[in-house]
Structure 1
């Protein structure tokens, strides 16, 4: 038997961070060497970072990328390592992976299928490499093979499927298998989305079965460039079985997952297939050979797959907690901010944002330890001066990083004030109470004096509501400036869809962590956190947080009208579960108003057809009127294919016809239906 220890490394990279990216690659190579790995797969475009955007077209990006590649080559002595780098050939820029063996550069493989939908925009920068095409390019003073290549190192054949290559119907893996490849390496930059890990697991295991190969999958990790989150998936499979996986959402700079594969067993498995038709050629096309000596290994028992939070029945809640918490932590340190400020209203959204900040601290310390956590934030002077390793100490760090401000007006009530204080204390945040009512009344008096009439709720409802939200903005911006902190906006996706947010008020902030998730889920998640909480987190947030009951027992309200009005969000809009259903149908599924109305009648039979029609019409009118608000939202995290971010996912004109004909036809249909029923 020919036994080879292979490894898949995940990396938390940053675009154009040449020295940092190199240091993390070097760390992963050293960790793999320590584990005895001889074949190592690193993530896609790991040298430059995946999210360089238009900087890929800068000449300097190409020059520095190749310079760093040259600096890394000596570190591959005694190993075979894949490294992702953009490469200019002729007048085309290609997304490539190069293979280095024993300190030498063997060749570059071009990505054949580019990701060009949704959050990805690869065709803007790269050209797809044509299948079965090989050329020679001049790099580092040498002629180096480039193209659809396979590599034979020490008798072991390797090929590449680069990220999107494995997601298409006609995968390059089929051709690689016919050419006798033993191992397929998949360097990836696959963004996180709910449930996506299971899809990856299927194509990794199915690829290893269908192609009869060993399969190595290595993804990026963390918040690389601002919006996308990478979960750090690492998988090794053979013969349709998952041999090893890494832990996702780690706070480490790198992790290496390794396993021993039997190359002879892989070959015999392929030979037994009657359907396998190997290519027989006089001269093997596109094959690069090099001498390499693999160490002799003894058979070993496969390590048991660890049972973790991924086996939870509440996987979406767990993934949401860990994905956004990791993204917040990376955004904090990569932006060199010294903490977070949240305008904590005592409602669900601001509570969720504050809880995610505290969770990022708790999860990070639980994952990498207090010392490594403080080292990553060492630019923040005095952080963690209080010694210890207890939950109380973790809360002390949260207090230094998270400031929550409750800003009251005469319309604020004791329920939300108590909720805000209770949540802040439970999380360990610094808590401030600011009375901004005098500022609100000052603006009202100035404007009413100039208009020559008093402002009242009958004629000036929206203006009187919005001035309260806007007056709260300068105070928290000031706190953020004083502390050198990042102000977090608290608007959610449901509000973004219908513009139920005050621009330059509650939308104020440099980052909008929950703008990619709907209000219905936020409320559900907070109830889950109150009663269950995340698994496997050895901290004060590793389990239920009963204090959240003070938020969960409330009906969501903006609390901008006088208390006598008993204002609630759902009275202003519509039931949140219905709003989310209409949003998915209209925006994600692109259904017409009439079709949506018909679907809603089936899904929500408790409401009359006329009422459902009114809500469908309200959604479309508010959606069209408020695209300008969505254009101005602070950056948000991508979590699923229902994202409304116009910069990365959902484009819509700021000015449009507003679905007037479609809504007119809906009203006529409802009238006809009602007259028939009568």
Structure 2
């Protein structure tokens, strides 16, 4: 039985308690969306049907129309399906028409899209379903549910994002309610797009749109950001949280079917509606609304709401923090370990753990969430019947967050050491301050003896152990090592393979340096953490080389490019899908007022060379929270080679063009008068 069984029942119970006549859940909710190759196993289909039958037979599931997601095999072909049922009767199995098959998604690996729009045929139910329902078969395909008072259709996740979403045709054929069950992951600045698409669909053709989404970590790099919502005629009338520690969240609303019918009186819509091919309708003797004489006239439909979008800084804080909590409680580990260097990346990672502790504290102390308290007691190795409650987020951190400054006498500055120590004290982590010179020199001496070569540096991660023998299967005591390399450093390959890439998980691996700085500035103000300002002011440095009076290592100097430039390269390479030549021409327009064509060429060539020779490092990249479209993670998201043979074709092409420009190729544009004055001020 899948662990989501109880949560599905709880959501149905809450929906009925709120007076709902229809309940929909997220995509593939019985199995979870992130099973990946487990979808290829026959056991998954079997257990999905077993779980569904256990759900449908429960008393709480009677007298409510249910829309539940799970995989279904039909004629030896696997489909991603919705199961529409009422009172132990399966009315319709609705397969997904358009599969998500790019970026993080590989649905075509596990499922096939349904044959075509509006096509329906018979599906012979498995015996365990026949015993419960008394049915031998039901309909499978793209159809509508016709109740006594209205008509309902379904979309599934990706179908909303297609240019011609199914809901438009359903609406023209008289469907008044469309549900969408999704497994849509969080990405910075993405929620706005999702809401705009739903609002646009119902704004054009009218109708009620019910959107349900997975929420939480499903066992991999993605965090599904909930935001369940109900939209009527282009207006949001109810919506749920985007980031939450709750296992179940139910969003309900009262809507007026007559408002939809009034909205659809436009003659232009009617002219298109009469030409719309008809959908098969599955009839059911039930009503989603009450008879007019049974309705209390004082009950009014939900009013339109102004959706509150999180800022980028809030998204960086909340998304990875919730992801970390889900990962920690599900892995049943004792906490996190983080090498705290005194730089802004490890600082950002530590602050995200601190914000996770704040969320846990709020859920336990203010929201009285028993599930979060139960998980925290397990992690802190306290008895399940303990009456202990945390007095602060710092007390939570003290029991689960371990940090260490791993320094060397020659390479590490007193400033970075102090920043790490001050931050650890402020957030409450168990902190170790140690030098690893002894280990370093022991390793280098042995290596030099064998190879006659002197290695330049070595990092030794360490952890604080706890009891690993636990017969009650509580927290086993191991620590999850947190990585703290940002997405720009991965893109450039500016890290040591099997060093920064050898952590357990990385909460900032999909976030740019620019966004991380904004996040730290936001956190220092909103959470009264004055220590963070020193991290913002400090120049980025890996401190891998000895510090002298004349020299301090600089990340941007070593990389040969700024972090702001890296963000631009990443977006052009991945988001815009530009090769070196197209990147150069694009940057001519973007940077042409500040640099010569040849300077831009040299920058593009340097980035491309660095990207290609370091691409092999992506094969060992720490699994990271996915937050940016230009993530270079080749384990799942960015499927490009990790071996690039030398090639001069594109550079010869650009150099030929530069020759035709003659002197113009080396000419740096003069700044305008206003720009020149601004530069003088900056200097």
TM-score band, normalised by the shorter chain? 0.7 to 0.9
Query: For 1:61 and 1:39, how far apart are their aligned partners in 2?
Result: 27
Q: Distance in 1 between matches of 2:284 and 2:39?
A: 31
Equivalent position of 2:676 in the other structure: none
SS of the residue aligned with 1:261? coil
Using the TM superposition, give the Cα deviation of residue 572 of structure 1 relative to its aligned residue in structure 2, in angstroms: 0.1
Distance 1:163 1:530 in 2: 37
Retained in 2: the 8 A contact 1:341–1:479? no
Aligned equivalents of 1:156 and 1:378: distance in 2? 48
Q: CA deviation at 1:450?
A: 3.2
- Among 530, 533, 546, the alignment partner of 1:546 is 530
What is residue 134 of structure 1 aligned with on the other side? 120
Report the equivalent of 1:80. 65
Cα-Cα RMSD: 2.7
Distance in 1 between residues matched to 2:279 and 2:508, nearest whole Å? 51
Would the aligned equivalents of 2:30 and 2:48 in 1 still touch at CA under 8 Å?
yes
Q: 2:22 aligns with which of 36, 39, 59?
A: 39
- SS of the residue 1:276 aligns to: helix
In structure 2, the residue matched to 1:636 is: 624
Q: Structure 2 length normalisation: TM-score?
A: 0.87
Consecutive unaligned residues in structure 1, runs of 5 or more: 1-17, 456-462, 534-542
Measured in 1, the distance between the counterparts of 2:433 and 2:521 equals: 26
- Whether 2:426 is the aligned partner of 1:443: answer no
Contact 2:151 2:174 in 1 (8 A): yes
Instruction: Tell me, in whole angstroms, the C-alpha distance in 1 between the residues paired with 2:87 and 2:49.
Output: 18
CA contact (8 A) 1:337 1:485 kept: yes
Aligned pair partner of 1:468 in 451, 458, 469: 458
Answer yes or no: is the 8 Å Cα contact 2:380–2:400 preserved in 1. Answer: no
Q: Does 1:653 align with 2:641?
A: yes
For 1:421-462, what per-residue CA distance to the aligned partner results, in whole angstroms no more than 9, with x for missing partners?
111111111111121111111122222233457x3xxxxxxx
Distance 1:265 1:497, change over 3 A: closer
In the TM superposition, residue 520 of structure 1 has moved relative to its aligned partner by 2.4
Number of residue pairs the alignment of both structures matches: 632
Q: Which moved more, 1:397-406 or 1:291-300?
A: 291-300
User: Aligned-pair distance for 1:346?
Assistant: 0.7
Q: Are the counterparts in 2 of residues 374 and 383 from structure 1 also a CA contact under 8 Å?
A: no
Aligned to 1:555, which of 520, 539, 555? 539
For 2:172 and 2:76, how far apart are their aligned partners in 1? Answer: 31
Query: Within 1, Cα distance between the matches of 2:540 and 2:655?
Result: 30
Q: Residue 43 of structure 1: SS of its match in structure 2?
A: coil
Aligned 1:1-400 pairs, distance under 5 A: 18-74=1-57, 75-129=60-114, 130-139=116-125, 140-141=129-130, 142-277=136-271, 286-293=280-287, 294-295=289-290, 296-299=294-297, 300-302=299-301, 310-311=308-309, 315-367=311-363, 368-369=367-368, 371-382=370-381, 387-388=388-389, 390=391, 393-400=392-399
Secondary structure of 1:99's aligned partner:
strand
Within 1, Cα distance between the matches of 2:450 and 2:652?
41
1:569 aligned partner: 555
Which of 1 and 2 has higher RCO (CA within 8 Å, sep 6+)? 1
Can you list the C-alpha shifts for 1:385-425, whole angstroms capped at 9, x where unaligned?
A: 794564xx221111111101100112111010001011111
CA offsets 1:214-272 (integer angstroms, 9 cap, x no match): 11111110111311111101111112211111121111011111111112332243245
CA displacement 1:578-635 (0-9 Å, x = unmatched)? 1221232234323343443454455455556655444322211111111211111121
Cα distance, 1:251–1:412 mapped onto 2, change above 3 Å:
same
Contact 2:172–2:269 (8 Å) recurs in 1: no
- Please give the alpha-carbon distance, in whole angstroms, between the structure 2 residues aligned to 1:656 and 1:570: 24
The CA deviation at 1:41 is: 1.3
Match of 1:458 in 2: none
Decide which moves more: 501-510 or 582-591: 582-591
- Tell me the secondary structure at the aligned position of residue 350 of structure 1: helix
How many angstroms apart in 2 are the aligned matches of 1:555 and 1:279? 62
Structure 1 residue 97 displacement after superposition: 0.5
Q: Which runs of 5+ in 2 are unaligned?
A: 131-135, 469-475, 668-683
Q: Deviations over 1:529-581 (max 9, x none)?
A: 223x3xxxxxxxxx342210121111000001010231010110121111221
2:286 and 2:369 mapped to 1: Cα distance?
A: 42
1:588 corresponding residue in structure 2 = 575
* Structure-2 separation of matches of 1:483 and 1:304: 50
Q: Contact 1:173–1:211 (CA<8 Å) still a contact in 2?
A: no
